[in-house]
């Protein structure tokens, strides 16, 4: 007779708790605002090709049309006669994509490093934490600038640079959580059952660390979007695509006379980052068991 592997992962109680998560999230006005805002930006990204089928880098109108001056260009045109609204729509796609993929990269590194360090402790932990601290010491934005400058500014390299420089705090968080679970009965029982380390980490440890990872991820996407726009503002973006940051950077040259060119795309960045931060705060409150009891 073989002993069935006990199911530690989501039991019924937890499943119903998870169903309750959506409800708890929707009870918080700030989380709802964040979700709504994020939904609008996602819709803009999805509809960019339908709403503005022409390349947003094309000259389509008279230069320097102020917002509202021409109903055909609700947000106006820039110094090259490019439609700012088209840039905002297509830029939404770039920002969200880069933010999401860069976060994925740093999730893989951060969760990997944190889980291995916390689970195996000892020498592996020591070595990995030294590397983590090293990456925390090097100023992340400067580091990203150097990586992009050396590797050439393409979308892939921007994603890599952001992903490579934003994982350390996540690694620390995951490590702390894993260390806490490591001595728990669940992991000990799995070891007694003879499960492989990889299996224990993947099926028993990580699912229980999911909540803080999810919260961090939404904040990380927000800061990845900020970093991407900052790189693009400095001219370190992919020159063939429109990004909110590069639009602000281009508008900087006409700041004295036509300040709307730089300010309008900036508002889009604020909206996207604000939405993700609100969502992160909401998730944090909703996932925190101490808060639920109130």
Partner 1 sequence: MVAPWLNRRRLRFWAGRLAHMALVVLGIAVVNFFLLHLAPGDAAQVLAGEAGSATPEYMAALRRQFGLDQPLPVQFAQYLGNLLTFNLGFSFRHGLPVLELIGQRLPATLLLMTASIGFAVLAGSALGVVAARNAGRLADTLISTLALLFYATPVFWIGLVLVVVFSVGLDWLPVGGMTSVEAGYAGWDHVRDVARHLVLPAATLGLFYLAIYTRLMRAAMLEVTTQDFIRTAVAKGLKPRRIALRHVLRNALLPVVTMLGVQVGSILGGAVLVETIFAWPGLGRLAFEALFQRDLNLLLGILLCSSAVVVVVNLAVDLLYTVLDPRIELAR
Q: Which residues contact partner 1 (rule: CB under 8 A)? A: 130-131, 133-134, 136-147, 149-151, 222, 226, 229-230, 233-236, 245, 248-249, 251-252, 255-256, 259, 262-263, 266, 269-270, 273-274, 277-278
- Euclidean distance between CA atoms 34 and 48, whole angstroms: 21
Q: Least distance in Å: CB of 23 to partner 1?
A: 23
Give dist(CA 1, CA 264) in Å, integer: 68
Cβ(62)–Cβ(82) below 8 Å:
no
Residue 64 or 143 with smaller CB distance to partner 1: 143
Give the whole-angstrom CA distance, residue 104 versus residue 109: 9
**Smaller CB distance to partner 1: residue 154 or 203?**
154
* Nearest residue (CB) to partner 1, 15 versus 130: 130
Give the SS3 label for residue 193: coil
Query: With respect to partner 1, which residue has the nearer C-beta, 220 or 273?
Result: 273
- List % helix, strand, coil for the chain (3-state, nearest 5): 75, 0, 25
**Shortest spacing between CB 210 and partner 1, in angstroms:** 24
Residue 132 Cβ vs partner 1, minimum distance, rounded to whole Å: 11
Q: Which is nearer to partner 1, 138 or 193 (CB)?
A: 138
Are the C-beta atoms of 25 and 282 separated by less than 8 Å?
Answer: yes
Q: How far is the CB of 4 from partner 1 (least distance, A)?
A: 45
CB of 285 to partner 1, least distance (A): 13
E-assigned strand segments in 110-239: none
* Least gap, CB of 38 to partner 1 (angstroms): 12
Residues 114 and 176: their CA atoms lie apart, in Å, by 8
| Type and span of the H or E element at 209 | none
Between 115 and 129, CB nearer to partner 1: 129
CB of 16 to partner 1, least distance (A): 30
Instruction: Please tell me the distance from the alpha carbon of residue 232 to that of residue 242, in angstroms, as a whole number.
Output: 9
Q: In whole angstroms, what is the distance from residue 55 CA to residue 35 CA? A: 29
In angstroms, give the least distance from the CB of 222 to partner 1: 7
User: How many H helices and E strands in the chain?
Assistant: 13, 0
Q: What is the DSSP string of 62-131?
A: -TTPPTTTBTTBTT-B-TT--BHHHHHHHHHHHHHHHHHHHHHHHHHHHHHHHHHHHHH-HHHHHHHHHH
């Amino acid at each position: 007779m073989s002993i069935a592997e006990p199911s530690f992962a989501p039991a019924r109680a937890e499943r119903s708790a998870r169903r309750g998560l959506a409800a708890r999230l929707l009870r918080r006005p700030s989380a709802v605002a964040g979700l709504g805002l994020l939904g609008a930006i996602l819709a803009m990204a999805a509809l960019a090709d339908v709403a503005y089928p022409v390349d947003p880098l094309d000259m389509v109108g008279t230069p320097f049309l102020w917002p509202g001056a021409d109903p055909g260009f609700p947000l106006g045109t820039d110094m090259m006669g490019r439609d700012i609204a088209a840039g905002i729509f297509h830029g939404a796609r770039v920002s969200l994509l880069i933010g999401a993929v860069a976060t994925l990269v740093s999730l893989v590194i951060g969760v990997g490093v944190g889980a291995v360090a916390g689970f195996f402790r000892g020498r592996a932990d020591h070595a990995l934490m030294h590397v983590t601290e090293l990456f925390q010491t090097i100023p992340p934005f400067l580091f990203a600038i150097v990586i992009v400058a050396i590797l050439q500014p393409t979308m892939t390299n921007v994603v890599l640079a952001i992903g490579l420089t934003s994982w350390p705090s996540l690694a620390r968080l995951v490590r702390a959580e894993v260390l806490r679970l490591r001595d728990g009965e669940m992991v000990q029982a799995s070891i007694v059952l003879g499960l492989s380390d990889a299996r224990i980490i993947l099926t028993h440890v990580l699912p229980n660390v999911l909540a803080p990872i999810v919260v961090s991820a939404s904040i990380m996407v927000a800061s990845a979007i900020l970093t991407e726009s900052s790189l693009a503002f400095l001219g370190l973006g992919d020159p063939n695509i429109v990004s909110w940051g590069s639009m602000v950077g281009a508008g900087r040259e006409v700041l004295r006379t036509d300040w709307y060119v730089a300010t309008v795309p900036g508002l889009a960045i604020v909206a996207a980052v604000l939405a993700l931060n609100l969502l992160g705060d909401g998730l944090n409150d909703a996932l925190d068991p101490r808060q639920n009891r109130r």
